[in-house]
Amino acid sequence: MTASIVDCEGLVHIYKTANLEVVALQGLDLQVAPGEMVAIAGRSGSGKTTLMNILAGLERPSAGSVHVAGHDLTRLERAEAEAYRREVVGYVLQRALGNLVPYLSALENVQAATVTGPPKERASAAADLLRRFGLGDHLSRRPAELAGHQTQRLALATALANRPRLLLADEPTAELDTGGTVALLGDLTEVLREAATAAVIVTHDTLVEQYVDRVVMIRDGRTSSERRWIERGGELVDDELAIMDRAGRIQLPQAYISRLGLTGRVRLHLEDDRIVILPSAGDDGE
């Protein structure tokens, strides 16, 4: 079995302020295989950005374990963390301009992110990557001179310049229309597949979900369910699985809870090869 490129187990993260503690992650588990594309979805405040910052080596979890490409992110010293962020991961922030140096051209931004190799080879590799992202005619333009969808493409090219093992992208299509989203996802998927680069993408965009291998839902700081697009009857359909953690806990979809009126305690029955969940006030006939 191939080892995971990302392996999080029981991940906990607590933010502390003067008068308050906020539990952003509470026992999250996540595994990502080499070359796999995974989308992370969930409501605001569910812990998505915290997870991304931990995977990027920007924050250290309060408890649990997290390994990326063999690196134990709970034990990285400052120099090791800098090398990890430079060599192992590429991180695209939600605002594309936040990833770029405004006074450098598109070519210079990507070349600056390529930290190894002779200058001529770095420039050639940067130009080739920009052409892959449809920016071959804009190498000399600065970020402010590009259209919004082009800036997002430049940010992704910059994050992938050093051929990271893992790409982290926070809402990469949030500011794009449908046409721009489809075109970007097509180019990005091709680049990632050819480089065998894994990706974790935070998104609320269902179009993104159709381009990844699976969608992991986070609720209340835990992985709660997982969706995949599978072919059934000649059509792509959404197949959802609940995630059971190592302690046997499962988070039910909120829609199911609301429809059945489940609150507090529930009744469980084992019937042959299935588990039946009933409201606590119901009887066996309900």
pLDDT at 284: 46
pLDDT at 11: 93
- Name the 3-class secondary structure at 197: coil
Q: What is the pLDDT of residues 71-103, one digit of tens each?
A: 999 999 999 999 999 999 999 988 888 889 999
Q: Taking Cα atoms as reference points, which of 164, 33, 146 lies closest to residue 100?
A: 146
Calculate what percentage of the chain has a pLDDT beyond 90: 55
Rg (CA), the chain: 21
CB-based contacts of 27: which residues, under 8 Å, 6+ apart? 10, 11, 12, 64, 221, 222, 245, 247
Specify the CATH number of the domain 6-248.
3.40.50.300
Segments of the chain assigned to CATH 3.40.50.300: 6-248
Residues of the chain under the 70 pLDDT cut: 1-2, 227, 229-231, 236-243, 245-246, 281-286
Neighbours of 216 (CB within 10 A): 24
pLDDT at 241: 67
